[in-house]
Structure 1
Amino acid sequence: MDCFVRQEVLAGRPARHGGLDYARLRQEGVSPEEVLDFSVSTNPFPPCPEIAEAVAGAALTRYPDSTSGELRSSLAELHGVPPESVLVTNGLAQAIFLCAFAFADRGKTVLITSPTFGEYRSASEFAGADVLDVPAREKDGFAFPLLGLEGRVRTVRHSLVWVCSPNNPTGILPSKEELLRLLSACDDQGTLLVLDEAYVNFAPPGSSALPLLRPGLLLLRSMTKDYGLTGLRLGYVLGDPRHVGLLASLQPPWSVNACAQAAGRAALRARGYYEAQWAGIRKLAAGLALDLAEAGFPPLPSAGNFLLFRAGDVEKLQAFLWERRILVRDCSSFGLSGFVRVGVKSGEENRRLVECLAQYRKEAS
């Protein structure tokens, strides 16, 4: 007998992401350690030693604090907000789905810009909402489409607007003035702006919209990316206590495990260690951009820890690089056919990528 299935589940389209395909690795007999994975954009450097100690000391025989109380208090102190304005989540993906199911619904519409992270559309559609797209144009360097967004918001009342800052995969960083204008339009229409700042710590200092925080704005942050905690999954939301409380009521209990909470607290205590890493990554990104251009693959300017460039026949390039155990992100799922995105890694790893790309260009010509 067929059971009832929510129609959005039947019609939903899960977002595509970068990262290792473990089934493929097993099939080809390749160890994950053999692959240089440029398809993801996370902190490539080792966590501070205190994190391993904290994880090892986490209590495994009892349920974790379902509210992540200590970590939430530490994050509140870091950002100068009350603890009620913070919700700790199992990675940023959980935060995105919580926002979609709390503030979007059947018969409602949400706005996204494209190209951008696919989870905003996927989560909104699973929640039943219609998704309207305001595209950034390649001929304008994929500049933030403020006028299109502002016009849409003032024309029709939307449930929420998703913005990624810096944007994945283009690296575009909306200015404070642009965000203020968009916030003003959203406030006038009673529309919630959800600003994903997953990569903001890799952008120039002062890039965060935290000073703009108000009831109509939710900020999403990724400790997974900032602190290199990819295997633990850790994110958080900053916003008005009422909105944060609604998200908390929807969050499954014990979403954030004891190891992740302990690692998060240790990472915040070692903030200086990571600020030095972020500064180093910004320098590596600038150097990689120059080297890619010299190799014949000039990237777009980026405020993130990733670079986007035209690659022509992406399938052919991916096959060439995979023979050398290098993985890059095909951006066709972003609607960018012929483009590749690469995350910034260590200097030696970046040089290996550039050498292989130069060799590919030479053989192709």
Structure 2
Amino acid sequence: MSSLSYPPKPRPGDRVAVVSPSAGLPGLFPHVYELGLHRLREEYRLEPEEYPTTRIMGADPRDRARDLTAAFADPTVTAVLATVGGDDLITVTPHLDDAVLRANPKPYFGYSDNTNVLNHLHRLGIVGYHGGSVLVHLGRPGALHPLTADSLRAALFGSDWYDLTPAAEWGDEPGDWNDPGSLAVEPVMFPGAGWHWQGPATVVTGRTWGGNLEVLHWLLAADRVAPAESLHGSIFLIETSEELPPAVEVYRMLRNLGERGLLAGFPAALVGRAKAWEFSRRLTPQEKTAYAGEQRAAVTRAFAEYAPDALLVFDVDFGHTDPQLIIPYGGEVRVDAVSRRISVRY
């Protein structure tokens, strides 16, 4: 844990890598991708450098790894942004050149399937950034969400402590990327109810580890997770995907982490707001509320069994819902249950 270090930050005007180590969706939805690139240039004054596999669906894992390694190796590139997630990045990370990554640490931004890369960098001692998708967040219909925009700007360019803000409104029903006209329409949003705190009235400070729960489970099966004792003291990040895993599976995955000895070592956990709607599963508002409640109960049950004294904060906006706050992965976080405040150091 103590060997983790923050990479140098970019400055406005710099070149940044834009890569698709998971799915090459920019090739299928160029209108969304180009909007994200436009905002990267106009809102953040960064010049995106695209790599060969960025727009290619089903590119060979070795080629995707070659692009990601090249992005770290390029001395003119000062940060690396993933375009989107996917489901097979676990086949890419074994082909990365770790010597190059260690010698050229850079801020890496991604979430969902990019948990593979964030965990890989963590094991190399490099702090990454959970969040920030060129398609999903920079390409958001209507406009950038102000909380996402501010958090991403602070994470890209800043190194200080930053207070996360509970979303006054949130959404999990995105526009249809198959319809270019949908980019002009703001997403459906719902009133926010703030964060939900459970556990002792204490203050916990530590470095983060975790990410998308389904991907973490794959990583455990592939033996790509550090020994439990080396992660003790971490603040655990948990978020679930658009596949809407049932509560019983969320519990079982966490139970498996508990049996591995991981949960007992986490003094606190930040739990992302549960995404509860997808085009193939259009849950009603009542069904969405029930789904989120069942997931919260599953997480609570697992921690009650393996880490009963842990501090839990639910509905933190860092997962598959909108807005998305950037969380340093392996970086410092302070969870203050007394003042109900979460601060991250970018």
Question: Does the TM-score normalized on the shorter chain lie above 0.5?
Answer: no
Larger Rg: 1
State the structure with bigger RCO (CA 8 A, min sep 6), 1 or 2: 1
TM-score where L is the length of structure 2: 0.33
